[in-house]
Structure 1
Amino acid sequence: MTQADLFQELKSLGMPVAYGEFQTEQQLPFITYQFAYGSDLMADNHNYVPIGNFQVELYTKSKEPATESLVQEKLKELRLPYSKVEAWLPEEKVRQIIYEIQLIGG
């Protein structure tokens, strides 16, 4: 799966999606995603398989299990294992859910 494929799949959830950040104010809920770091498969001084670690970030006004479930089911459907971290951002008054995933070869 490529980064472009990931974008299209996230858009299919019916929420605004952007890489990194939006240039305009968005209504909640919305999703951002971004490359976090690489952990390519390497041997013999060569990068054999590119592995990109991405963060898919869901922003909601409050705890929304149904919305989280939409994102999680999409990641499962795409066979993208994830780890999940949650935080309340008091300055913005939003809940942030970060799903860490890997795109292999894309």
Structure 2
Amino acid sequence: MWEIAKLWMKGCKVIILDIPLLFEIKMDRWTNPVIVVWVNPETQIQRLMSRDGCSEEQAQSRVNAQLALDWKKSEADVVIDSSGSLDNTRQQSREVLRKVSEPLT
């Protein structure tokens, strides 16, 4: 948290935090806008299995231990859908960054 305050005091206009458990640790109260990167459940499980080399059961158990992505999506100010290609996700991310970097006037 101190690092965020230091960046703000230095005049940073946009500070991006990558916090996978944002809602679980109640940090959503301190961030604006809340951006959720959403993926459909089937793709989420497949990516987790591929990345971590775990079974479908293990992947599902990890997903079940967190708040549902659909709930997080409903609480978000902005949603990036990463169900498609990496290029599509990058394009959405760039657009979101452009929008949040615009002056508030």
Q: Please give the range of the TM-score, normalised by the shorter of the 2 chains.
A: under 0.3
* TM-score, L = length of structure 2: 0.26
Greater share of helix: 2
Greater share of strand: 1
The one of the two structures with greater contact order (alpha-carbon pairs below 8 A, sep at least 6) is 2
